[in-house]
Amino acid sequence: MDKVQNKNIILIGFMGSGKTSIGKKLSEISNYQFFDTDHIIETREKDIISNIFQSKGEEYFRQLETDLLRNLKSSLNCSILSTGGGLPLREENAKLLKELGFVVYLKASQETILERLKGDTTRPLLQGEDYETRISLLHKKREPFYENAATSTITTDHRSLDEITMQIWDLYQTYRV
Ligand code: S3P
């Protein structure tokens, strides 16, 4: 496994895989600052993700994600970055993520994700009919992209937040420069 060049931990994974909760916990134990790509985009655009999707389209949002990663390359240090679930799919983004730091894929089973996302109304890709089929297809399609973009994969099913957080922190100590 490659040594990481930058002092950042990047969390990737499907919607509902725990990126935000684990990211905040990691930030507490490390004293690194916590950032979230969706949150930065919403602040910059002065609008929420579902409205951005609706008014400007998904491609517009995806370009904002890539532009943001290019920006962060020169500014992010000693930070935890939680990323939107679709961000690692672009090849350029996957490359940029590895340049930013230690990339952890939070792997969760379809069952866990379905349980966690039940009743969610904030994620545009999950709205409409056939909710379970939609998740199942997306999940299957995306897994290889997450694996490819990650420095390390951590399984999260049936594990506590503290346990997962400590495992990531320990791994990061091993692999950082
Ligand atoms: C998306 C995931 C969302 C958000 C947007 C699109 C996706 O972030 O970026 O709704 O394509 O999986 P979370 O993974 O934080 O829910």
pLDDT tens digits, 87-140: 999 999 999 999 999 999 999 999 999 999 988 888 888 888 888 898 899 999
CB of 13 closer than 6 A to ligand 1? no
Residue nearest to atom 10 of ligand 1 (CA): 123
Residue identified by tokens 């894929």 is 105
Determine the atom of ligand 1 nearest the C-alpha atom of 65.
Answer: 9
Residue 41 CA to ligand 1 centre (angstroms) = 12
Residues 80, 26: contact at Cβ < 8 Å?
A: yes
DSSP character at residue 125: G
Q: What residue owns the CA closest to ligand 1's atom 8?
A: 84
pLDDT band at 6 (very low <50, low <70, confident <90, very high): confident
Query: How many angstroms separate the CA atoms of 96 and 149, rounded?
Result: 9
C-alpha 49 – ligand 1 centre gap (Å)? 9
- pLDDT at res. 47: 97
Q: Is 86's C-beta closer than 6 angstroms to any atom of ligand 1?
A: yes
Q: Is 125 in the pocket of ligand 1 (CB under 6 A)?
A: yes
Task: Give yes or no for residue 18 CB within 6 A of ligand 1.
Answer: no
pLDDT band at 38 (very low <50, low <70, confident <90, very high): very high
Q: What pLDDT, on the 0 to 100 scale, is given for residue 126?
A: 85
- Structure confidence at residue 48 as a pLDDT band (50, 70, 90): very high
- How far apart CA 88 and CA 69 sit, in angstroms, is 11
Expressed in angstroms and rounded, the spacing between residue 14 Cα and the centre of ligand 1 is: 8
pLDDT of residue 3: 47
Q: What's the pLDDT score for residue 5?
A: 59
Cβ distance 107 to 146 under 8 Å?
Answer: yes
177 pLDDT more than 80: no
